[in-house]
């Protein structure tokens, strides 16, 4: 038996704004938006969802994950225990992608990394959730 990784849930002061921000970062789409929850998924997952139920377990397991943003009253106060790693393709300009994210409202974060020794850059989204931009890769 196998379970499917379905979504990652992110506590947010402004879930709809966070969902829009992450959808723009990832090129994803919103599939659900209420005051209590905002959900984004890869465009491919939306196409698969609109195609109907998965016919087989194999088809179900191949469908992509989503991000769910839910409201909480408190601000983020400590470093994340779980974070997202983003990676550009080798055909992309990694530094340009980092600049794009900074221009969208991300900020650089020091979590103790030595920038001269690591191959990733730590950033935070507009609500302070850390994420990394890894080195370019093709796998």
CATH architecture for segment(s) 7-71? 2-Layer Sandwich (3.30)
- Domain ranges across the chain: 7-71, 84-133
Burial label for 40, CB within 10 Å (0-12, 13-18, 19+), is buried
pLDDT of 85 over the 70 cut:
yes
Which residues have a Cβ under 8 Å from the Cβ of 10 and sit 6 or more positions away?
Answer: 18, 67, 68, 69, 70, 129
Report yes or no: 120 and 95 within 8 Å, Cβ to Cβ: no
- d(CA 57, CA 135) in angstroms, rounded, equals 33
Counting residues of the chain whose pLDDT is more than 90, the rounded percentage is: 65
pLDDT digits (tens, 9 = 90+) for 18-56: 999 999 999 999 999 999 999 999 988 777 767 788 888
By C-alpha distance, which of 72, 56, 69 is closest to 28?
Answer: 69
């Amino acid at each position: 038996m196998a379970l499917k990784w379905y979504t990652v849930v992110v506590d947010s002061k402004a879930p709809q704004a966070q969902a829009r921000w992450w959808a723009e970062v990832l090129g994803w789409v919103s599939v659900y938006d209420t005051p209590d929850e905002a959900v984004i998924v890869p465009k491919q997952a939306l196409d698969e969802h609109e195609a109907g139920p998965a016919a087989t377990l194999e088809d179900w397991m191949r469908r992509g994950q989503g991000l769910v943003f839910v409201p909480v009253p408190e601000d983020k106060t400590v470093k994340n225990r779980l974070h997202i790693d983003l990676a550009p393709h080798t055909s992309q300009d990694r530094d340009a992608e980092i600049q794009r994210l900074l221009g969208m409202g991300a900020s650089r974060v020091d979590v103790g990394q030595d920038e001269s020794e690591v191959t990733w850059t730590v950033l935070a989204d507009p609500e302070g959730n850390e994420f990394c931009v890894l080195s370019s890769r093709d796998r």
